[in-house]
Amino acid sequence: MYYIIIIVFMGLSMIVSARLKSKFKKYSQSPIGMTGAQVAQKMLRDNGINDVDVISTPGALTDHYNPANKTVNLSDWVYSQNTVAAAAVAAHECGHAVQHAHAYTWLGFRSKMVPALNISSKIMPWLIMGGIFLFYSSGNSLILIIGIAMFALTTIFSFVTLPVEFDASNRALKWLDTARILNREDHDKAKDALKWAAMTYVVAALASLAQLLYYLSILNNRRD
């Protein structure tokens, strides 16, 4: 069962990832009048945010908002390209900055989970592996229960991430319309690109839930 779960969700992840790359490649061929950096700077200004910097960061798909130092980090191509895809990504990341400025509940909840998640992620795999071994060899379930509880935290984090990501995309698309950065056709392209980006988080959350249910089934089946 475990391997079936892994194979199914690896397949889904590969399909979504391939679709996402295809969409961004396609919409990177649709030019607009502003670079990603310019889009980000304008969106921040229009939302009255003056304490967030827009910077370029190496790599691909490395775009993110860092609430700790208040920076919108755009990958090199997003920062410098004047395309629909770049505008969509830049506006999405600024959507997180707007969430931060407005104390968006789900973003605050997710940020509070990060310290505990960083600690649990380092020891959780060892606790689960060791816990399963002890459980089957001696019947002692304590270590496994602790490991599963830590894994449950990562699953909760994955689902908390979903409204954060969808809301950032909605804010981005609404602003792109209001600021008239994109025409109707380009708006639909940006919406499509952000939809597939969000799907990667949906698949990750469902995969985490399926794995959590598998671990819980080990406890239940063994006890039965």
In this structure, are residues 83 and 28 in contact, taking their beta carbons and an 8 Å threshold? Answer: yes
Helix, coil or strand: residue 58: coil
**What is the spatial distance between Cα 175 and Cα 85, in angstroms, rounded to a whole number?**
15
Helices 142-178 and 184-223, interaxial angle, to 10°?
Answer: 170
Which residue in 35, 44, 74, 93 is the catalytic one?
93
**What is the spatial distance between Cα 54 and Cα 34, in angstroms, rounded to a whole number?**
14
Phi, psi values for residue 33, rounded to 5° = -90, 0
Is the torsion defined by CA of 80, 85, 88, 93 positive or negative? negative
Is 185 designated active site?
A: no
What separation, in Å, do the N-terminal and C-terminal C-alpha atoms of the chain show? 18
Where b means 16+ CB within 10 Å and e means fewer, 163-176 reads ebbbbbbebbbebb
Catalytic residues: 93
